[in-house]
Amino acid sequence: MIIIIKPNTKKELVSSFVAELEKTPGLQAHLVDGLHTTIIGLVGDTSKIDIDNLRTSDIVEEVKRVQEPYKNANRKFHPDDTVVDIGGIKIGGSHFQVISGPCSVECEDQICEIARRVKAADSAFLRGGAFKPRTSPYAFQGLKAEGIELLLEAKKKTGLPIVTEIMDAAHLPLFENVDVIQVGARNMQNFELLKELGHTKKPILLKRGLANTIEEFLMSAEYIMAGGNENVILCERGIRTFETATRNTFDVSAIPVLKRLSHLPVVADPSHAGGISWLVEPLALAAVAAGADGLMIEVHNNPAKALSDGKQSLTPDEFYGVMLKIKAVLAALGKSIG
Ligand code: PEP
Ligand code: MN
């Protein structure tokens, strides 16, 4: 961090300012005293420094960060890829996995049938929303606790670990047997929820907010990790832009950027990114080619009758076909599922 001191500031004021900065353990301040300008180079872990607070000091002209404001999620402090282990199924590093299933859990037959079909296509996880964040309060809100019970039933039948979204920390007891807790795009900056999840050891699939920068996304991961939970998987699911031809704009560049900045696994969700079933295949393949560690894909046994997101859902047969192409792209990169 670079702190530029206002011209003609008394040396004693600068010295006491430096002494104050160095009270934070692990921080060293290096003073560069020029003819007209004094600069302080602050090195060490500056992630806990409040930059706005520094700017309010009477002697400070400007403050510039030269290091990212996140530490736990930062690849600089953790060069090796993080591999998240979910009951023996690994994701990250050399491990690529697919998470698939319906947008919403609707009934036992629906979730069990889809689970059986996606498992046959080599999906490692079953997804399904029980608590649904819907734009309209009149739209289907999910089966809630019953939805989680039905996912557990499908898990019992197929052995597939389950991924489902949490919207309120008060619901955490219901998620005790859920394998991966999803934080949806709309809750990416629900900091109280993130803090609560940081106090658990559950793997967390954190989706990027609709209109959030990559740095904000990584700061949200940092919230979870700062509480002691290192099991975070990032999910790029498209961002809002001026474009209306697709539901969101798939930010494919976020995948290599996130992987460069962070050691956390990165998966992509082409279903919510494109919002149309025929777009899922090209976006999924682009994500794999860009280096994603996994994919989340919505699959429904009867998309036309789905209670949410039917338009972007693949049928099990279509999913099987897309999985073959995903495997082909992985093979071209010298990778495979698993
Ligand atoms: C979902 O995965 O069903 C979902 C609601 O996604 P997002 O939070 O990315 O909109
Ligand atoms: Mn959905």
One pLDDT digit (tens) per residue for the chain, 338 residues: 999 999 999 999 999 999 999 998 889 999 999 888 899 999 988 888 889 999 999 999 999 999 899 999 999 999 999 999 999 999 999 999 999 999 999 999 999 999 999 999 999 999 999 999 999 999 999 999 999 999 999 999 999 999 999 999 999 999 999 999 999 999 999 999 999 999 999 999 999 999 999 999 999 999 999 999 999 999 999 999 999 999 999 999 999 999 999 999 999 999 999 999 999 999 999 999 999 999 999 999 999 999 999 999 999 999 999 999 999 999 999 999 99
Q: Report pLDDT for 194.
A: 98
Mutate to test the pocket of ligand 1, among 99, 100, 103 (most ligand atoms within 8 A of CB): 103
Closest-CA residue, ligand 1 atom 10, reads 185
Residue 151 burial by Cβ neighbours in a 10 Å radius (0-12, 13-18, 19+): buried
pTM: 0.94
Indicate the angle between helix axes 214-226 and 191-198, nearest 10 degrees: 40
What distance in angstroms lies between residue 165's CA and the mean position of ligand 2's atoms? Answer: 10
Q: Report pLDDT for 45.
A: 84
Residue 139 burial by Cβ neighbours in a 10 Å radius (0-12, 13-18, 19+): exposed
Pocket of ligand 1 (CB under 6 A): 103, 129, 133, 184-186, 207, 237, 269, 272
CATH of range 2-64; options 3.40.50.2300, 3.30.70.1140, 3.40.50.300, 3.90.1200.10: 3.30.70.1140
**Closest-lying ligand to the alpha carbon of 186?**
1
Closest to 111 (Cα-Cα) out of 324, 334, 300: 300
CATH fold, domain 84-332, is TIM Barrel (3.20.20)
CB 299 within 8 A of CB 154: no
Which residues in the chain are classed under CATH 3.20.20.70? 84-332
Mutate to test the pocket of ligand 1, among 269, 280, 308 (most ligand atoms within 8 A of CB): 269
Specify the ligand 1 atom closest to the Cα of 127.
2
Which residues in the chain are classed under CATH 3.30.70.1140? 2-64
Contacts of 279 (CB under 8 A, 6+ apart): 246, 270, 273, 312
Closest-CA residue, ligand 1 atom 1, reads 103
